[in-house]
Structure 1
Amino acid sequence: MNIEFKDTKDFTEKEVEELFLSVGWLSGQYPSRLIKALKSSSLVVTAWDGNKLVGLIRALDDGEMVVFLHYLLVQPDYQGNGIAAHLLDIIKEKYKDFLYINIMPDERNNITFYQKHGFTLLENGAAMQIRHL
């Protein structure tokens, strides 16, 4: 498997829709909104197996101090091959001079993965959200 990583936004609506739906994420049901959101993001790093989009991470930053990571996903057939870790490492290197790199995992079972990559749970923090669905 020869995975290529890119920090360009040259993916199509259909490609991101298929990737997001492959992991069962709700945002994949809104492909036109999803592509606009990704194209407007500070940074999107993608993983490709030839012409197939197999992974993606997105960052939203303020240009200086804080970056929020939202979306880190790998197509199920490609999970367990270090793709997510490599995507995260690219982001960590890019934002190494920022004061904070924040992530809000949607699932508790992903906490161990992020801890393995240097993230810590905020002692008194709590994730909060307003959901408009």
Structure 2
Amino acid sequence: MKINFNNSKNINIEPLEKLYNDVQWYAYTKDVKVLQQAISQSLDVISAWDREELVGLIRVVGDGLTIIFIQDILVLNAYQNQGIATQLMQQILKKYSDVRQKVLLTEEAPDVRHFYEKNDFHSCDKGSTVAFAKFS
């Protein structure tokens, strides 16, 4: 299996909906047109493809100079644990290596914590920084 990576933000609704539903991120697929618009208006998007199938995606928002916020990183369940998310993350971290603040907000789970820590992210609950979020 050869995974191809693409930097286009122009991704059809159907594969986006399939990917986000597969990982149970249903809040995004309540309105797939808004999801598609969010993708197109992001600072950066890298998608992973197995032939014609969208199997993974990382999406970044921010100014790209002083801060990036990794909004989404997801991989189809059938393709998880094959290094695709790590490759997506490493491409973004390399591209924005000069950006001082690289931020993300995610759920707490042992495998999730392990993934981000192995990619040199540090939890704000273990140090001198604090994170706040307000959800509508």
Is TM more than 0.5 here?
A: yes
Name the SS for the 2:37 alignment partner: helix
Displacement of 1:106 in angstroms is: 2.7
Tell me which residue corresponds to 1:93. 94
- Give me the whole-angstrom Cα distance separating, in 2, the residues matched to 1:10 and 1:130: 28
Instruction: Give the Cα–Cα distance (whole angstroms) in 2 for the partners of residues 63 and 92 of structure 1.
Output: 11
- C-alpha distance in structure 2 between counterparts of 1:88 and 1:118, whole Å: 11
Superposition deviation, residue 3 in structure 1: 0.3
Partners of 1:35 and 1:10 in 2: how far apart? 8
Which structure 2 residue ranges, 5 or more long, are not aligned? none
Report Cα offsets for 1:4-34 as digits up to 9, x if no partner: 0111123101110110001100212321110
* TM-align CA RMSD: 1.2
Instruction: Give the total of aligned pairs.
Output: 131
How far apart, in 1, do the equivalents of 2:135 and 2:19 lie? Answer: 25
- Conserved? CA contact 1:104–1:127, under 8 Å: no
Aligned structure 1 segments of 4 or more residues deviating by more than 6 angstroms: none
Query: What corresponds to 2:114 in structure 1?
Result: 112
Q: Deviations over 1:52-72 (max 9, x none)?
A: 000000001213100000110
1:65-80 matches, cutoff 5 A: 65-80=66-81
Does structure 2 retain, via aligned residues, the 8 Å contact 1:68–1:102?
Answer: yes
2:9 aligned residue: 9
* CA displacement at 1:83 relative to structure 2: 0.2
Q: Aligned residue for 2:48?
A: 47
Percent of paired sites with the same residue: 32
Q: 1:130 aligns with which of 114, 117, 135?
A: 135
Task: Report the equivalent of 2:104.
Answer: 103
